[in-house]
Chain A
């Protein structure tokens, strides 16, 4: 994958000052009465624009839940969530849907794409839904940088796992969202394809000022991020800056004891 051109001036990042996503005393409870599960217990955290954050933790720690709440995919039980300046918990469904469409990008572990559409149609889907015309130059850039040029007319069933993920990334980026949420994006990929994808994501952050919040259980993947949050039983138990794979591995093993 090749590097991407420098962004237009208005997207120049100011990492330390601009908060693009925030949770304040976030509580999320699943189920009712006897089967109640406290997934998130009064979590408060800020995410700066232009940062690459990894959220980690064992299963049941609440890391996916945190991402869903921040992204407006799920309703919270208590507390407040902000995204791109808007308070998500106060928004009605229609407005929330619009936020997801215009201000957020998603990359999931698998099943990212609509099987009936071609790669190109999948990439342009968010713009299509919004009724906006794509910026042809930007589209060409994205496609070229992700190496998808000869795959545009293929359906997902005709693409490899890695290609499908790259299409998903292109789709996530086409709307130039405030935040890209990635849920175990490399979970279904082999190590070589994984590192290629992760490098690309890191480049987007460095060169374009894109904000990425990634949920992962893989310390190697988290190593590509500038910041790692560790969750356990609904709390943030560690907030590491510039984590290396080794420190992460130690921290995680330490959590079990």
Chain B
């Protein structure tokens, strides 16, 4: 049975290439995402487990009363060679050039070390630090330079060969430093144990358990411990696998449409073969089994290719993220399941075409192949069902616009029904649409007109092809419109709420364990200088102020609002009344607008009336210059406002701001409406890019479908192509004809997809806003990115053109003589 199938595929490889490609792409998607995520999970896990990687066993104990007794108890157990507490802390590490978040390990003793020093040495005194190469590069320091951690200066004594880290940079300090900074005052709760060489770990564990259980300790082998950590991590990140799975499902559905269409065409072309088999005595089920074998074979080939491709893509992704050095983990069980899914969907997609085609009576199949489809009576039934679905869906969607209970659910339900109705009803309107577009294109000449009639000669196939594209493109546009609408709506709100474009404020150093409560917070002079030079800035103002404390010992950063300052925030008042304090909106009942607050500055006390404003946030506040004078005799620069020429254009200014933020990570707070808007735009932009790329896979499969339909159709039309050539049609014209055919199908699919995608995007967002009770306060601003839409159209057009190249050549090269020969 499979031998026949293999022969069939080998004989006509070109016919099944498109099917195999569609399956391969879908499977590759699934394999790539699960491999990539699993690899990242394991890399992260390995990183987290670096600490224990050289240990044999890990003991954890959380009771502060008994922690001191753990190490001696463990050491006393026979078979234990060494026990050591693993001490670690995290925080920002600062150099002249940059600040990074780092994890500082107290250098473990040699048998527990997982890295080696490639330059210099391990730290020994309390003023020394050794950095991983990546950390040193990021900080721009080398051996002998100084870095600051938590207020202490440390000299870099060595560089290690630690692998690239995912989140925090790696650094090592000495035990002396740990003692000097008080890190050892509290136990870390984690001990590493090295067993004597030759000791059976499984036997050792119970002995250790016995020795430490009274202390409330847990004993695990290093491997078990690492796996448990990994499992916990995996649980948390598995949600990503599910999300990617959603996208993979879309790709699979599109793939199934294509495969079903392909099988329909292939089996239609093999009607004679089927008829012959039946005439010779094969039963219907024997014929079906034959085709089932072919479907399974195709599915297997496609899935195998997909697995290889998927692993390759995951490897590239891993290399790109920089964790390839930690090795790749291929989840064989998942990959195996994905392989089977590929085969299953191929068979599922092939079932209906198979059943339909093998129900043919032997003699009927021996008639010449009808290449033009007759109108089918089933369109009546289809019209009714799809009509009902569309009306019901539209109804639900309408309800979602006006109801207060679960509008999102109504909208989703409406969207699903509408989608089913629109996609299912494709054969009813796709041919007419293609003809309509064709009429426009047909103005260019007879070739285009012929192309139009050819494109709709088989309404069923044309619809299936266009449907796949509609689905894929529709989803992309839905997401894109949704994102763009959210973005525009949110940005409008931000514009309302945050009148200041960019603000730079001096803040309390949160990394400093002993911050001064009396020194006023000053904005560094170079920050002010840089702020003024930021690209796009048209007005800047530096506000003077001081710090004052309230009755709860909370520090407030006051700044005096002057008319000059208001120039940098046009909607701000030019002055505020004496005796008032403007603070950011808060729900704190003791800080209600209209209430009073007592503040103590270095000069004196002031009682001020509270007014809520959008000009400042958090512990920052605005007062009048007179009020400031009451509180301090020596105001300092502590707030800077910048106005941009175009609030929407922050890209270049952002880079400069980033340098400021990195250097003064803990002492300057950067904010403002423009910054917020920019961050949101960037995040949404990246999100959109990723989801578009993911859905792009489905679009790719759909376009493969266009190529497929065309290619197979040309095979049927060999005699027609030859006739046209005989009658005097140039080769180039035949190729053009196929190009136009492909484009008509592709553009119809894309355009319908764009229209419905936009509608669903808008529907979704307005339902989401209603669901979140924001509909009243937030005016929805519908947005569609014209560039993305044009890009989609362009991609479809180009892909269609490419798709038509090979079929076009085949048609053009049809020898007039050969094809007209009587069979």
Contact = CB atoms under 8 A, between A and B. Distances in A.
A115 B374 CA distance: 11
A42 interface: no
B446 A109 contact: no
Interface stretch (A121-129, A134-142, A203-211): A121-129
Contacts of B443: none
A47 B372 CA distance: 40
Given A114-B723, A115-B372, A97 B817 contact: no
A220 interface: no
Contacts of A116: 372, 450, 453-454, 457
Nearest to A74: B817
A28 B359 CA distance: 46
A131 B454 CA distance: 20
Contacts of B680: none
B729 A129 contact: yes
A110 B820 CA distance: 9
Contacts of A97: 725, 728-731
Given A114-B720, A115-B371, A68 B727 contact: no
Contacts of B719: 111
B355 interface: no
B182 interface: no
A128 B446 contact: yes
A42 B498 CA distance: 94
B817 A73 contact: yes
A131 B445 contact: yes
Given A68-B817, A108-B820, A131-B445, A125 B727 contact: yes
Interface in A126-162: 126, 128-131, 155, 157
Interface stretch (A2-10, A99-107, A226-234, A248-256): A99-107
B693 interface: no
Contacts of A99: 728
A114 B372 CA distance: 10
Number of chain A interface residues as a range: 20 to 34
A116 B822 CA distance: 21
B816 interface: yes
Q: How large is the interface on B (under 10, 10 to 19, 20 to 34, 35 or more residues)?
A: 20 to 34
B715 interface: no
Interface string B718-754: 0110011111111101000000000000000000000
A112 B728 contact: no
Contacts of A109: 822
Interface in A35-71: 68
Nearest to A130: B728
A157 B728 contact: no
B731 A93 contact: yes
Q: Which of B446, B728, B731, B820 has the most CB of A within 10 A?
A: B728
Contacts of A74: 815-817
A106 B453 contact: no
Interface centre among A97, A115, A126, A157 (most CB of B within 10 A): A97
Contacts of A242: none
B817 A126 contact: no
B820 A111 contact: yes
Contacts of A129: 446, 727-729, 733
A128 B450 CA distance: 10
Contact of A117 (B371, B445, B453, B725): B453
Nearest to A98: B728
Name, among B450, B727, B817, the residue most crowded by chain A CB atoms within 10 Å (CB to CB).
B727
Contacts of A102: 728
Shortest 9 CB-CB distances between A and B: which pairs? Answer: A101-B728, A116-B453, A128-B446, A100-B728, A73-B816, A115-B372, A74-B817, A116-B457, A73-B817
Interface of A: 68, 73-74, 93-94, 97-102, 104, 106, 108-112, 114-117, 125-126, 128-131, 155, 157, 183
